[in-house]
């Protein structure tokens, strides 16, 4: 492991060169950050849970024909993914008002939206990932019109899939963020869902109680983040039957 070439270290993950050309190993750290890294902590087991949960969602997406960068999970903390050129946008889909949208528009958190709303933020930590419009994206050449059509279609398909999976286990998908990458197959480029899909990048509320089962638990000091993520994994059948929210996360392969 130590001899592998590190390509990039982000807030929650490290990317290493993969074993074959065109592949990357994505390592999930236990680090949690919020508010553009002004709040930081190490949450034991978070990386293991996110690796497994992201594998679960990405595999499901691949299975229903939504292309992702995911190839396979390698171990508790690492997964093999296709190397891709990340489009410098955070693509956010919202079903209910929460977070920055609720604040920006003065809406009560939890208000149902008339339809899924897709927002784009520029991936730039120094600027705090500002909201941008399609006009900015086109004018500055961050993505083409064809890319934007494909991104919108991918985002809505991910939303339908994730909302359905979550509904099946009694969880409301309030909103989420994805990142999109370009992969090249010979002369052709296509877009794939990249990065990760996990409770770090979604808002997940228990349908019955409204309990938050996502990173807002950390952002807003609402209790144990590991307990919340373990609960999501447990409901999805990814935890051994005996495991409770109080035990250290051990995942079923």
Instruction: Point out which residues bind ligand 5GP (CB under 6 A).
Output: 90, 92, 98-101, 129, 175-177, 200-203, 215
- Reference 27, options 42, 7, 57, 43; nearest CA is 7
Largest CA distance in the chain: 54
Which residue minimizes CB distance to ligand 5GP? 99
- What's the closest the beta carbon of residue 202 comes to ligand 5GP, in angstroms? 5
Phi/psi for 174 (5° steps) reads: -80, -50
Unique residue bearing structure tokens 């190839």: 71
Q: Provide, rounded to whole angstroms, the least separation between the CB of residue 203 and ligand 5GP.
A: 4
Q: Judged by CB, which is closer to ligand 5GP: 35, or 63?
A: 35
Of residues 27 and 176, the one with the C-beta less far from ligand 5GP: 176
DSSP structure class, residue 195: S
Separation between Cα atoms, residue 238 and residue 107, nearest integer Å: 35
Contact 59, 81 (CB under 8 A): no
The nearest distance, CB 21 to ligand 5GP, in angstroms, is 29
Q: Judged by CB, which is closer to ligand 5GP: 147, or 175?
A: 175
78 vs 214, beta carbon nearer ligand 5GP:
214
């Amino acid at each position: 492991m130590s001899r592998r070439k590190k390509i990039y270290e982000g807030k929650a993950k490290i990317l290493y060169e993969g074993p074959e050309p065109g592949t990357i190993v994505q390592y999930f750290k236990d680090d949690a950050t919020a508010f553009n890294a002004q709040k930081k902590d190490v949450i034991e087991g978070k990386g293991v849970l996110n690796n497994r949960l992201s594998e679960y969602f990405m595999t499901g997406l691949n299975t229903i024909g939504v292309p992702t960068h995911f190839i396979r999970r390698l171990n508790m903390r690492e997964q093999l993914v296709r190397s891709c050129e990340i489009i410098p946008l955070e693509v956010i889909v919202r079903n209910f008002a929460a977070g920055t949208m609720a604040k920006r528009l003065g809406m009560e958190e939890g208000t149902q939206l008339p339809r899924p709303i897709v927002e784009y933020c520029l991936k730039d930590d120094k600027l705090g990932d500002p909201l941008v419009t399609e006009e900015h994206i086109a004018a500055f050449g961050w993505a083409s019109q064809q890319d934007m059509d494909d991104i919108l279609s991918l985002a809505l398909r991910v939303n339908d899939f994730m909302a359905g999976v979550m509904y099946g286990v009694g969880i409301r998908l309030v909103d989420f963020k994805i990142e999109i990458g370009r992969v090249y197959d010979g002369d052709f480029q296509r877009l794939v869902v990249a990065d990760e899909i996990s409770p770090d990048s979604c808002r997940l509320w228990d349908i019955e109680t409204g309990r938050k089962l996502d990173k807002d638990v950390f952002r807003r000091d609402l209790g144990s983040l590991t307990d919340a993520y373990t609960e999501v994994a447990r409901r999805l059948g990814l935890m051994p039957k005996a495991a409770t929210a109080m035990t250290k996360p051990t995942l079923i392969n």
